[in-house]
């Protein structure tokens, strides 16, 4: 890891030193923020990571149907009680956050690998990473039916406290470890030219480093957290630090996605590659608060928890706001887009809307109520929509048709607006003190307003489920349409 961090720093220095060298003073040529091209040798592996990500979305959608129905007033009376809701919640979150995000990260990181010897060994490692992640994801879903154990609502990685589910998570984690180590060992070189593609490559490099820090934090916590603690306390402490570090990985991938999608839509982004690279560096530097927190505070202390939270707020906020403003300026004046650009713009705008809404809701949180899931649903769905847009953007490079038409344009809005209604319903109910991570009669809905808020949550959740599954339909239709022209 230290070797890779050194190479990242060297690349950053080259880009910073050369910024503006290739463009005469006063030139108006905008930076070309394009993703790395998909090489023929990478296509099969990239397609496989996409297949895993899509399977995770389908599985998470099926579990979320049960999850939303379990929290919708009157409907939940026909479903099993609390434990059923919690088991569905655990699997839904792990598939929709861990597996979907790692699947798309595997796709993007595979495009950023350097093609060099020993190619056979690295190819085997890449396929081993995919196989372990796929096996672990299947085990998580199966455990809900064959060995659910006790559901534990830990933050970041909720668990079913059973041998089957724990084994599945370990297998998935082993696959993620191989993927990250391979991406650290063989990153594509970032040359001295400070162009947009080099900046996006650096963003992908930074997301890998953040993932490596998260894995180190998980391993550190696994070694020091007493196993004798109650399950809820054990898993909460175990995943707290690494979970915060993972948010830097997903946020960096989202920022890469925003820039790439804005450029693909024809927007002129008013940020130089040097500035973008420096913003990525700020976000990357902030992730190293994670190991520092383990060094200076005991994992069970409030200071340890607060240090992770502070690092995430500082690093994410400083990097996100300038990129969001620049992308908004680039996309706002666009009116006449090609049919294949319209779905990309829809995904980009919906992503920004949900992420910003989630961030604003976070400022209103006081106490433990459903405002908390409203906050992270907004932010996580903002990341998900950006990754959906990147998938649509990359389909032609993977050998398929670019999605177009009304269905492809409406899908991000259906998913985004559904999730927006979902979180508005949660915020509404949270204002009345409705507690998080409960369902059915445990919600204790005392007034018509509380019932209405949770009903709005249920309606929005169902619309979002439909939008998520529609994304899979849009992608499969593009695949069935055949190869992209010239492929």
pLDDT in tens, 38-87: 887 788 999 999 999 999 999 988 887 777 676 666 666 665 555 777 88
Q: Which is nearest to 328 in space by CA: 283, 366, 271, 272?
A: 271
Whole-number Å distance between alpha carbons of 301 and 464: 37
Predicted pLDDT at 373: 72
Predicted pLDDT at 187: 67
pLDDT cut 70: percent of the chain above it? 78
pLDDT at 97 over 80: yes
For residue 260, name the pLDDT band (cuts at 50, 70, 90).
very high
Predicted pLDDT at 144: 87
Whole-number Å distance between alpha carbons of 149 and 152: 9
Q: Which CATH architecture has domain 39-187?
A: Up-down Bundle (1.20)
Rounded to the nearest 5°, which phi and psi values hold at 252? -65, -40
Report pLDDT digits (tens) over 418-434.
988 888 877 766 544 44
Whole-number Å distance between alpha carbons of 61 and 84: 16
Whole-number Å distance between alpha carbons of 215 and 196: 29
Taking all residues of the chain, what is their mean pLDDT, rounded to a whole number?
Answer: 82
Q: How many CB atoms lie within 10 A of CB 447?
A: 9
The answer to whether the CB of 382 falls within 8 A of the CB of 316 is no
Point out which residues pair with 150 in neighbouring strands: 161
For residue 352, name the pLDDT band (cuts at 50, 70, 90).
very high
Predicted pLDDT at 432: 42
Whole-number Å distance between alpha carbons of 112 and 396: 17
Concatenating the DSSP letter of every residue in 139-189 gives HHHHHHHH---EEE--SSS-EEESHHHHHHHHHHHHHHHHHHHHHHHSBPP
Report pLDDT digits (tens) over 373-398.
777 778 889 999 999 999 999 999 99
Report the DSSP pairing between strands 159-161 and 150-152.
antiparallel
Q: Which is nearest to 96 in space by CA: 384, 373, 362?
A: 384
pLDDT at 349 over 70: yes
Whole-number Å distance between alpha carbons of 107 and 46: 5
Whole-number Å distance between alpha carbons of 108 and 390: 9
pLDDT at 449 over 80: no
Residue tagged 């849009």 (tokens) = 474
What is the CATH class of 345-487?
mainly alpha
The answer to whether the CB of 363 falls within 8 A of the CB of 430 is no
Q: What is the CA radius of gyration of the chain?
A: 22
Report pLDDT digits (tens) over 181-233.
999 887 665 555 578 888 999 999 999 999 999 999 999 999 999 989 999 99
Task: Provide CATH 1.20.120 ranges for the chain.
Answer: 39-187, 345-487
Degrees, nearest 5: CA angle 136-137-139: 65
Predicted pLDDT at 132: 98
For residue 10, name the pLDDT band (cuts at 50, 70, 90).
very low
The answer to whether the CB of 274 falls within 8 A of the CB of 214 is no
Whole-number Å distance between alpha carbons of 206 and 10: 13
The answer to whether the CB of 55 falls within 8 A of the CB of 102 is no
pLDDT at 464 over 80: yes
Q: Which is nearest to 107 in space by CA: 130, 81, 139, 77?
A: 130
């Amino acid at each position: 890891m230290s070797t890779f961090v050194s190479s990242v720093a060297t690349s950053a220095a080259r880009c910073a030193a050369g910024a503006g060298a290739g463009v005469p003073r006063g030139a108006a040529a905008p930076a070309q923020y394009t993703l790395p091209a998909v090489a023929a040798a990478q296509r099969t592996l990239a397609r496989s990571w996409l297949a895993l990500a899509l399977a995770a979305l389908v599985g998470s959608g099926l579990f979320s149907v049960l999850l939303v129905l379990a929290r919708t007033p009157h409907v939940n009376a026909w479903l099993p009680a609390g434990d059923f809701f919690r088991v569905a919640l655990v699997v839904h979150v792990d598939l929709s956050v861990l597996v979907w995000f790692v699947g798309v990260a595997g796709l993007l990181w595979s495009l950023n690998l350097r093609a060099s010897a020993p190619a056979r060994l690295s190819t085997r490692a890449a396929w081993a990473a995919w196989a372990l992640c796929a096996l672990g994801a299947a085990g998580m879903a199966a455990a809900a039916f064959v060995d659910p154990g006790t559901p534990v609502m830990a933050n970041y990685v909720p668990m079913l406290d059973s041998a089957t589910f724990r084994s599945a998570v370990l297998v998935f984690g082993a696959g993620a470890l191989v993927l990250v180590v391979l991406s650290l060992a063989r990153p594509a070189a970032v040359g001295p030219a400070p162009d947009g593609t080099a900046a996006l490559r650096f963003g992908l490099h930074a997301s890998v480093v953040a993932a490596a820090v998260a894995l180190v934090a998980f391993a550190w916590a696994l070694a020091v957290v007493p196993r004798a603690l109650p399950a809820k306390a054990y898993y909460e402490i175990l995943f707290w630090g690494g979970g915060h570090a993972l948010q830097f990985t997903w946020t960096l991938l989202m920022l890469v996605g925003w820039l790439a999608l804005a450029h693909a839509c024809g927007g002129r982004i008013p940020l130089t590659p040097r500035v973008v690279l420096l913003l990525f560096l700020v976000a990357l530097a902030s992730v190293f608060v994670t190991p520092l927190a383990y060094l200076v505070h005991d994992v069970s202390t409030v200071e340890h928890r607060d240090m992770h939270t502070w690092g995430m707020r500082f690093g994410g906020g400083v990097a996100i706001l300038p990129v969001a403003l620049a992308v908004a300026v680039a996309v706002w004046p666009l009116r006449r887009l090609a049919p294949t650009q319209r779905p990309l713009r829809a995904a980009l705008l919906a992503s920004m809307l949900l992420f910003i809404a989630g961030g604003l809701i976070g400022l209103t949180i006081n106490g433990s109520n459903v405002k908390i899931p409203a906050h992270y649903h907004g932010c996580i769905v903002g990341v998900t929509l950006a990754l959906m847009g990147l998938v649509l953007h990359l389909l032609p490079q993977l050998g398929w048709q670019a999605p177009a038409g009304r269905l492809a344009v409406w899908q991000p809005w259906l998913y985004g607006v559904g999730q927006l209604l979902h979180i508005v319903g949660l915020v509404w109910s949270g204002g009345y003190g409705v507690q998080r991570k409960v369902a059915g009669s445990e919600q204790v809905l005392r007034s018509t307003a509380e019932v209405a808020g949770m009903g709005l949550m249920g309606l929005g959740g169902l619309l979002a489920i439909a939008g998520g599954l529609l994304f899979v339909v849009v992608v499969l239709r593009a695949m069935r349409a055949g190869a992209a022209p010239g492929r």
